[in-house]
Homo-oligomer: A and B are copies of this chain.
Amino acid sequence: MRLWGVMGLILGGSVEASLNRKTRPNIIYMLMDDMGWGDLGVNGNLHRETPNIDELARSGVVFTDFYSAAPLCSPSRASLLTGRLPVRNGFYTDNAKMRNGYTPQNIVGGIADEEILLSELLQKSGYRTGLVGKWHLGHREQYLPLKHGFDYWFGAPNCHFGPYDDKHTPNIPVFENEDMIGRYYEEIPIDRNRGRSNFTNNLRDKAFEFIQKSVDDQQPFFLFFTPDSSHAPVYSSLAFAGQSRRGKIGEAIMELDWTVGNIMELVKSLGIIEETIIVFSSDNGGACVGPVEQCGSNGPLLCCKQTTFDGGMRVPGILSWPGTVEPNQVNNDVSGLMDLFTTGLHLAGVPVPEDRIIDGKNLLDLVKLKNHRKPRDSTTGTHFFYRGDTLGAVRHGDYKMHVYTWSGATTSSQWHFCRGQNVPNVTTEAQTDHSMAPVIYNIGQDPSEKLPLPVKSAEYQQQRPIIEKIIAEHQKSLVLGKPQLNYCDDSVMHWAPPGCEKLGKCLPIPPSNYAKCYWDH
């Protein structure tokens, strides 16, 4: 019997069986902000500024074809935590077509109570759950992290991008749990001209405390670590000044890499490395508006953040779990951030909700586990590229079909999200419907989306009906969530966040001016 058991494992026993061998692992998801696919040394960044992240990659799996569910922060993060596309979970707007809605501080909406978050399920199953860093799923009281499954939170509800003084709009508050502890550019200094702040160090210290306390309490933990220093205006602490040939963005990335290294060291020194799975990624591709030294690198990929091209949505993807997941793996399957929902549930032994469509899958089914055979490469993975309410493209296996393209904003050619790149009929400055003559790429051969397949080619003719059928089925089954990003109101801004009284930081709340938000792009 014992022999058969061993044979079963070797010949391909289920993942569940192997997971049952140990207690439920700790889960650390590290999600960077606007860090591009090409910002990692392991993905070929010319400057090789990420030795620690590269080491994390070697210790486990690099997912080369790892996608976010949206080309910008809020919907991408909502999709990670719900395992569902933004059009399902409500993190989109239909005020206008194909608009990149998010959660600025005048947004009225946020993550709906009907949505089930990974944090909620893990908390319920006995995990200690912590968010250290940016939230971005809504900032009105009912939307904050502690209402959505997190036991602990240190960080800000929005990005540190604007405003920069409290005169017209309040600066963004930083919270510890229920109460604000200060505001960016005030108690939390960021020198955005020099690109300097110690805030990433603060986040690291809080992550350390959270991990340490969970280990002390012998409770499995879920840490969602979301620093945002690689989002413009990028910053790092003084120790990284002048360290990068590419300027401030490189310095920010070097500090984030150092921080990842610190967390890896802590996990090792606490002796929990084999009981801890670490995933590293970014919420969307590198941006390409504003000064170059504020912009991440998308390597060979086309265009940037805000777009449905690969530069907007293909992001770093690393998973490490020493002792369980074999090291030095590269995985080319179509995968992405929504998979982290389903993967997290599997790790915790929590059933995946069955009352709704979940887009994510279990990443551990794709990779080689110790004492297991390597799974077959999947060549049939599918990813839907939405920008707001509009499906721009679908990737299926090695092919990507664009049905609707837009590279810019409505009002200004300065906001062109393919800066320096131009593929005729593809990087279109106006919204362009291609559904009658889709643009198809063989992404396997042409990852840069430079060479649309000729319409008359056999490859095009073969792929078009396959992907059109996938789209038709997707659209038939699609139940749109109620759009959360349609309404804005200055009175919901951070005039008087919880805890402001204690600090003497409350500002007078102006009258409501509830109205549809204007989204330019």
Which residues does A use to contact B, with CB under 8 Å? 38, 41-48, 62, 64-65, 245-247, 292-293, 297-300, 330, 332, 398, 419-424, 442, 444-448, 450-451
Please measure, in the bound complex, the distance between the C-alpha atom of A247 and the C-alpha atom of B64, giving whole angstroms.
18
> B292 touching A442 by the CB < 8 A rule?
yes
Q: Which of B45, B247, B419 has a CB less than 8 Å from the CB of A44? A: B45
Please measure, in the bound complex, the distance between the C-alpha atom of A162 and the C-alpha atom of B323, giving whole angstroms.
52
Please measure, in the bound complex, the distance between the C-alpha atom of A421 and the C-alpha atom of B449, giving whole angstroms.
10
Closest to A329 in B: B48
User: Within the oligomer, what is the number of copies of this chain?
Assistant: 2
Q: Which of B47, B65, B450 has a CB less than 8 Å from the CB of A46? A: B65
Contacts of A44 in B (CB 8 A): 38, 42-45, 299-300
Name 14 interchain pairs, CB-CB below 8 A, sorted by A. Answer: A38-B300, A41-B330, A42-B44, A43-B44, A46-B64, A46-B65, A47-B332, A245-B332, A292-B451, A419-B450, A420-B450, A420-B451, A422-B422, A422-B423
Please measure, in the bound complex, the distance between the C-alpha atom of A46 and the C-alpha atom of B298, giving whole angstroms.
12
Interface centre among A44, A332, A447 (most CB of B within 10 A): A44
Closest to A302 in B: B420
Closest to A397 in B: B245
Q: A44-B300, A299-B300, A421-B421 are in contact. List 6 more A-B contacts (CB 8 A).
A: A42-B44, A47-B64, A245-B398, A246-B445, A420-B448, A422-B423
Contacts of A422 in B (CB 8 A): 422-424
Interface centre among A45, A46, A423, A424 (most CB of B within 10 A): A46
Closest to A42 in B: B44
Closest to A451 in B: B420
Please measure, in the bound complex, the distance between the C-alpha atom of A62 and the C-alpha atom of B44, giving whole angstroms.
11
> B330 touching A444 by the CB < 8 A rule?
no
Within the complex, what minimum Cβ distance (angstroms) separates A335 from chain B? 13
Q: Please report whether the interface of chain A is mostly helix, strand, loop or mixed according to DSSP.
A: loop
Contacts of A398 in B (CB 8 A): 245
Contacts of A442 in B (CB 8 A): 292
Within the complex, what minimum Cβ distance (angstroms) separates A240 from chain B? 16
Q: Which of B247, B420, B451 has a CB less than 8 Å from the CB of A423? A: B420
Closest to A422 in B: B422
Closest to A449 in B: B420
> A447 touching B46 by the CB < 8 A rule?
yes
Contacts of A299 in B (CB 8 A): 44, 299-300
Please measure, in the bound complex, the distance between the C-alpha atom of A42 and the C-alpha atom of B330, giving whole angstroms.
12
Contacts of A332 in B (CB 8 A): 46-48, 245
Please measure, in the bound complex, the distance between the C-alpha atom of A446 and the C-alpha atom of B421, giving whole angstroms.
12
> B48 touching A64 by the CB < 8 A rule?
yes
> B451 touching A330 by the CB < 8 A rule?
no
Tell me whether A444 and B43 are in contact in the complex, defined as CB-CB below 8 angstroms, given that A48-B330, A330-B48, A422-B422 are known contacts: no
Please measure, in the bound complex, the distance between the C-alpha atom of A116 and the C-alpha atom of B448, giving whole angstroms.
42
Interface centre among A297, A299, A445, A451 (most CB of B within 10 A): A445
Contacts of A448 in B (CB 8 A): 420
Contacts of A293 in B (CB 8 A): 445
Please measure, in the bound complex, the distance between the C-alpha atom of A38 and the C-alpha atom of B448, giving whole angstroms.
12
> A445 touching B46 by the CB < 8 A rule?
no
Interface centre among A293, A420, A446 (most CB of B within 10 A): A420
Within the complex, what minimum Cβ distance (angstroms) separates A63 from chain B? 11
Contacts of A65 in B (CB 8 A): 46
Within the complex, what minimum Cβ distance (angstroms) separates A408 from chain B? 16
Tell me whether A444 and B246 are in contact in the complex, defined as CB-CB below 8 angstroms, given that A64-B47, A330-B41 are known contacts: yes
Please measure, in the bound complex, the distance between the C-alpha atom of A65 and the C-alpha atom of B48, giving whole angstroms.
12
Please measure, in the bound complex, the distance between the C-alpha atom of A43 and the C-alpha atom of B41, giving whole angstroms.
8
Within the complex, what minimum Cβ distance (angstroms) separates A367 from chain B? 14
Please measure, in the bound complex, the distance between the C-alpha atom of A46 and the C-alpha atom of B317, giving whole angstroms.
12
Contacts of A42 in B (CB 8 A): 44
Please measure, in the bound complex, the distance between the C-alpha atom of A47 and the C-alpha atom of B447, giving whole angstroms.
10
Nearest 8 CB-CB pairings of A with B: A44-B44, A420-B450, A48-B330, A245-B444, A43-B44, A422-B422, A292-B445, A246-B445
Please measure, in the bound complex, the distance between the C-alpha atom of A44 and the C-alpha atom of B62, giving whole angstroms.
11
